[in-house]
Chains A and B, each alone.
Chain A
Amino acid sequence: NAGVTQTPKFQVLKTGQSMTLQCAQDMNHEYMSWYRQDPGMGLRLIHYSVGAGITDQGEVPNGYNVSRSTTEDFPLRLLSAAPSQTSVYFCASSSHRDRQVGEQYFGPGTRLTVT
């Protein structure tokens, strides 16, 4: 199993550009989520999905959009990039049955810089 994969690993955008961060998992996990990691702030939840066709907002959803058309994929779209979105983005997945008590599996991250 590849686990959770993310592409690209690095990206530089200009303010106002849009892009999609890709996330895929091959563990047949129902639950997937996106976090951003900023220095001194830990990780914060952006959006999550409990299954194909179902998404919901986390604590910092503004400026981001998600969709979940398949169990495997959960892309994160930046609609109009802003410097405040410079961060490291992590995708995670876990089994739906264990979603509160089970561990989440994290991808390697995408380091995004917005100039």
Chain B
Amino acid sequence: AQSVAQPEDQVNVAEGNPLTVKCTYSVSGNPYLFWYVQYPNRGLQFLLKYITGDNLVKGSYGFEAEFNKSQTSFHLKKPSALVSDSALYFCAVSLLLTGGGNKLTFGTGTQLKVEL
């Protein structure tokens, strides 16, 4: 069974500082990995994904993520945090279901708080 772990419930960072939100995964076969962001009272929004190729993936709003196969990690990063980045971040791994559907297995989420 596939699983995703986000070891930190909350990450606090000062505006302008780099941020990292951690994610590790467990899958059989090739992982298809995603990051989504959820702002208060909103649905999830896609940030970026890793399918294959370059281990450094660039996404929306200046975010990037580094895929590390040996450490089974997919950490989300941003060089300079903004207060507006404060939100709930979810790491997810995708699995094709036998019926043809697709299941995203989500981590429990990490609340990012960026302070002035």
Contacts A40-B108, A42-B106, A108-B42: A103 and B49 contacting too (C-beta < 8 A)? Answer: yes
CB distance from A14 to the nearest CB of B (A): 24
Q: How large is the interface on A (under 10, 10 to 19, 20 to 34, 35 or more residues)?
A: 20 to 34
Q: Which residues of B contact A99 (CB under 8 A)?
A: 96, 100-102
State how many residues of chain B have any CB contact under 8 Å with chain A. Answer: 28
Contact with A along B23-44 (1 / 0, CB 8 A): 0000000001010100001111
Q: Which residues of A contact B42 (CB under 8 A)?
A: 108-109
Contact of B103 among A4, A41, A45, A101 (CB under 8 A): A45
CB distance from A3 to the nearest CB of B (A): 9
Q: In the complex, what distance in Å separates the CA atom of A33 from the CA atom of B99? A: 13
Q: In the complex, what distance in Å separates the CA atom of A50 from the CA atom of B97? A: 11
CB distance from B103 to the nearest CB of A (A): 5
B14 in contact (CB, < 8 A): no
CB distance from B78 to the nearest CB of A (A): 19
Q: In the complex, what distance in Å separates the CA atom of A59 from the CA atom of B45? A: 22
The 3 A-B residue pairs with the shortest CB-CB distance, nearest first, are A42-B106, A106-B43, A103-B46
Name 24 A/B residue pairs within 8 A (Cβ), A-sorted. Answer: A33-B102, A42-B90, A42-B109, A43-B44, A43-B104, A48-B101, A49-B101, A50-B101, A54-B99, A56-B97, A92-B44, A100-B94, A101-B32, A101-B49, A101-B51, A101-B94, A103-B46, A103-B49, A104-B102, A104-B104, A106-B43, A106-B45, A109-B41, A109-B42
Chain B residues packing against A (C-beta within 8 Å): 4, 32, 34, 36, 41-46, 49, 51, 90, 94-97, 99-109
Chain A residues packing against B (C-beta within 8 Å): 4, 31, 33, 35, 40-45, 48-50, 54, 56, 58-59, 90, 92, 94, 99-101, 103-109
